[in-house]
Structure 1
Amino acid sequence: MDRLPRILYAEDNVNDIELTLAAFQEINLVNQIDVVRDGEEALDYLFYRNRYANRERFLPALVLLDLKMPKKDGVEVLEAIRQSSEYANLPVVMLTSSQMETDVVRSYKLGVNGFVVKPIDFLEFVKAIKTIGYFWAFINVPPAK
């Protein structure tokens, strides 16, 4: 039996990580979520570098990417993803507190698949995360590998 594809979640805010993982549990999302805490670690994970040099070779089903992270921000990570032929079709969703139009436009120009502003209200945040998880895990049809 094939293993479910993993989701890479790049986020530096511990509270957002906990809320997101709890929301995914509530919709019975059974994909493993691999969490990285900054942009450099996200790139290490994706490109099998440093502590991820020996990780199993697979493409994540989705990358959830915070825009404002230490070391490298979400835009820099997105640029690296889209410059790689291996990840040309990898779904990437920005999940961020930024509402700046320039961030939205720049992300879409670089090939992001979605841009979601994290709601401040707890219940709205959980609802948004559930919707993202449900869409990408159950509704979206990715290209054949």
Structure 2
Amino acid sequence: MADEIERKFLVSSDAWRNGPPGVRICQGYLCRDKERTVRVRLAGEKAFLTIKGATSGISRKEFEYAIPPEEAQALLDLCLPLPVDKIRHERKHGGHLWEVDEFLGPNAGLIVAEIELSDANESFERPDWLGREVSDEPRYFNANLAEHPWTEWKT
């Protein structure tokens, strides 16, 4: 068990694109409520089952387990609404690892950067391509993007 402490930002330019290619991720939700989410994820040739607790500020409990890719695919077939499809790019900046998610399908056009911190008050250097923080906006949570895709928002 671990506490996930994460901040999420919109991306304001393409300057992050200079780097290695990303990994295609397909993830779906078996349970999506305020107290917990249960997610299945195929990331390249790896697969995971993840349980996350309720969000408190920018922190929540997270449990993640590797599972066989065939089982992940079978679980994805059980997910409603449809899974979220994206490419995850990892970029290092200022001693931290940033995960830049470039969404596809019904969320195409949305690009979000996340940073995991060891403490909620940990300082970090902001890359030039980082835009507005959306950590406290639930509509940007992947579980919500599955049900309410970004391309359908009326802003």
Q: Structure 2 length normalisation: TM-score?
A: 0.29
The answer to which structure has the higher helix fraction is 1
The answer to which structure has the higher strand fraction is 2
Structure number with higher relative contact order (C-alpha < 8 Å, ≥ 6 residues apart): 2
Q: Structure 1 length normalisation: TM-score?
A: 0.30
Larger Rg: 2
